Chains A and B, each alone.
Chain A
Amino acid sequence: MKQGWEAFGDYQKLSEQFFRGMADMGASLGLKQNATPPWGEALEQWSKLYGGNATQHSAMFEQLLDQAKSYFGVLQNLFEQKGKVPGTEELRRMVGDFAGRFVNQEPMHQWWSKVQPMLGSLMPDLPKDFGEEALKKLLSAPAFGYAREQQVRLQSFARAVLDFESAQRGYQQLIVKSLEGAVGVMQSKLADAAEPGGKPLATPRQVYDLLIDAMEESYADVAMSAEFRAAYGQLVDAQMRLKSHVNREIELMTGQLGMPTRTELDASHQKVAELKRALRKRGDGVSAAEVAALKAEIAGLKRELAAVKAALAAPAAAPAIAADAVAAPAPVAEAPAVDSVDAPVEAKRPAPRRRKGA
């Protein structure tokens, strides 16, 4: 096989051949190309070509191209190696490319990246020439005077920023640990493939798929560890503490502008929810009372029926009574089906006045 790679020329040549193919395909669509584009840039140009098309699926295509780069990253590494089994450094480079894309997509990471510049003067001004520990110490200093409350708030906000950054680092370190583990897992899988009876990888795509398997395997090991659970919890909690500080500062600002705040709106929502619940319960109560009344009525009718049966059994019973008795249960049949629970207790309660429309 090595002969084949040598015969084919160096990586640059392979790259050019690939890109020529891409360019030929895109030429009819107006795609312009760089003189010596790397693999990933070919896709960038495709992305630009379709970027202006605001159809429902353009975002999907953008995402697809972005994900495709992960495959081309692997492909590029393989071509650079001219078909040799990638070594530790090459594998590190391959998995590292995935890690960056993965971590940067995290929603709270993205939220903070977007929100931070918008906060402007609401953000505490953190001195940059302090170490983290010294800064934390400084932020724990007691506040006093007229602006004491504001100072305490801002110090707490600043500590939340530091905690968030620290928790993020802790989480990312474990992601890196899982990726380093993936390198080992991949090497082991490659070694298995080279064993007698093993299954050598016949296409770059198989290498890509095996790499994904290795990364997932290593990630699952790390993600199920107690260490990861703790780091995950710390990250989520730190994100929430930071967000609650941001929420509070925005509330204070909107309050100063005379606008209703999230807390006020939530309080209204809570009251409405409680009122609905109370109303429903009251409605259920009326319904239960109605059920009790019906049960009492049934009990009364049963007594009447028993009396009628007894009267019929007696030779002197009048036919008119029997006719009444047969007609009597009719209203009961119209009663809604109910659970027959607590009937004796409910039946003893006085029947309330039936409300119209209840």
Chain B
Amino acid sequence: MEALNFDPSKAVEEALSFGRKLSAGAETLFKLDPVHYGATDKEEVYREDKLVLYRFKRKGAPKCKTPLLIVYALVNRPYMTDLQADRSLVKNLLDLGQEIYLIDWGYPDRSDRYTTLSDYINGYIDRCVDAVSARHGGEPINILGICQGGAFSLCYSALHPAKVKNLITMVTPVDFHTDDNMLAHWTRAMDVDLFVDTLGNVPADLMNWCYLTLKPYRLNFQKYVGMVDILDNKTELENFLRMEQWIFDSPDQAGECFRQFIKDFYQGNKLLKGEVELDGERVDLKAIKMPVLNIYAEQDHLVPPSASKPLKGAVGTRDYTELAFKGGHIGIYVSGRAQREVPPAVHNWLMQRS
């Protein structure tokens, strides 16, 4: 049997069809309005430096009386959680009855170069938690930490357990030294001090390039060849462009925070070892006694499941739940499956503990 078994005339037709789609796509592309993101109406409730704390508006009283604060990563922008009406973790959670707040970190500039990990966790996050809590009777709140924001939330919950009622981590790395973690593998041989001392803040372009090189041929080539297939579909094209905007709309990283995060988490694996120190206080994950829901994505190439799952043995809580999502690091927010599975799982888990 031959490995290749295609009809030459069909092959030419495939090429022509590709050209036709490019042609139609050119027409569609230039007729498109700028894409917008953010489906849900929100209001600003607290502001500090470049950070803004938002509350998503809802109709009627929430079913869950404890508010939920979303702590997103510093890399990329938090509107991934509310990308568009039919792809929105926030909207789905609101519809189910949650009261939701979200931290938007903004875009750090050179004046933020000396903002430390502690400034973020013991400073910004703590004050946001206080601001949310103050609006709800001063009671402890629920936190949903995403990716790096999940690692921050773990640190925060370990250091301020009385302020957190329930903790949810999504695609959150805990063990940075697993065999399948390419990103962690690469960072271990680089001189982070030299890196930050030279660059000041870490440019978003460098970060994005690093992510793209995790799967360079799929993400730099195949994805765009695949895009030709949807060029004649305005809606799908807009969805694609919205995702592209999110992927490359990345803030620079504050230098000092980046330095400690890479050294302690990626290189030293200190979060799992209980050796991270913030303001002289050790972050001990065993101090996390509140209920924990850990959601990871089975096909996540940025935070492999093996990096997330060790949380189970690391936290001190007896109420630990794990949820494996069939998808990737981004699909966990935007895929159709995610809309069906993730918000109800989060909501039900919280309601059982409200």
Contact = CB atoms under 8 A, between A and B. Distances in A.
Contacts of A190: 3-4
Interface residues of A, number: 93
A36 interface: no
B336 interface: no
Nearest to A60: B29
A221 B156 CA distance: 37
A315 interface: no
Interface in A209-259: 209, 212, 215-216, 219-220, 223-224, 228-230, 232-234, 236-237, 240-241, 243-244, 247
A67 B224 contact: yes
A266 B113 contact: yes
B267 to A, nearest CB: 11
Contacts of A25: 19-20, 23
A79 B8 CA distance: 8
Interface string A154-196: 0000000000000000000000000000000000001101111
A227 B97 CA distance: 52
Given A200-B1, A241-B194, A270-B114, A64 B217 contact: no
A43 B194 CA distance: 43
A22 interface: yes
Contact of A200 (B5, B110, B221, B223): B5
Interface in A1-32: 1, 4-5, 8, 14, 17-18, 21-22, 25-26
A98 interface: yes
B26 interface: yes
Interface stretch (B74-82, B145-153, B185-193, B318-326): B185-193
Contacts of B7: 1, 4
A280 B241 contact: no
A202 interface: yes
Nearest to B179: A224
A282 interface: no
Contacts of A46: 22-23, 26
Contacts of B189: 229-230, 232-234
Interface stretch (B52-60, B167-175, B197-205, B289-297): B197-205
A107 to B, nearest CB: 5
Interface in A100-115: 101-102, 105-108
A153 to B, nearest CB: 16
Contacts of A233: 186, 188-191
- The listed residue with most A CB atoms (<10 A of its CB), out of B25, B111, B186, B189, is B189
A216 B218 CA distance: 7
Contacts of B244: 60
Contacts of B3: 85, 190-191, 193-194, 198, 200-201
Interface string A43-81: 100100010010111101101110110111001001100
Interface stretch (B10-18, B61-69, B268-276, B306-314): B10-18
Given A1-B5, A4-B7, A64 B198 contact: no
Contacts of B228: 64, 68
Given A50-B26, A203-B11, A236-B195, A85 B225 contact: no
B194 A244 contact: yes
B34 interface: yes
Contacts of A148: none
B209 A106 contact: yes
Contacts of A14: 8, 12
Contacts of B182: 220, 223-224
Contacts of B119: 273, 277
A315 B197 CA distance: 77
B20 A208 contact: no
B2 interface: yes
Given A64-B227, A240-B199, A8 B185 contact: no
A223 B216 CA distance: 11
A302 interface: no
B222 interface: yes
B88 to A, nearest CB: 23
A206 B223 CA distance: 14
Nearest to A210: B3
A106 B110 CA distance: 23
B45 interface: no
B215 interface: yes
A22 B19 contact: yes
Given A55-B30, A98-B217, A204-B14, A273 B114 contact: yes
B25 A64 contact: yes
B224 A63 contact: yes
A129 to B, nearest CB: 32
A247 B7 CA distance: 58
A201 B6 contact: yes
B19 A21 contact: yes
B220 interface: yes
A202 B197 contact: no
B221 A58 contact: no
B237 to A, nearest CB: 9
B345 interface: no
Contacts of A244: 194, 197-198
Contact of B2 (A22, A85, A207): A85
Given A4-B8, A212-B221, A237-B190, A107 B1 contact: no
A64 B227 CA distance: 8
Name the residue among B9, B113, B123, B225 with the largest chain A CB count within 10 angstroms. B225
13 contacts: A5-B8, A25-B23, A56-B32, A61-B30, A68-B18, A106-B209, A190-B4, A194-B3, A200-B3, A204-B11, A220-B182, A229-B186, A270-B114
Given A1-B4, A57-B241, A212-B218, 9 more contacts: A4-B9, A21-B16, A71-B221, A85-B4, A102-B220, A203-B10, A224-B179, A262-B200, A266-B200
5 A-B pairs with least C-beta separation: A233-B189, A337-B138, A67-B224, A273-B114, A200-B5
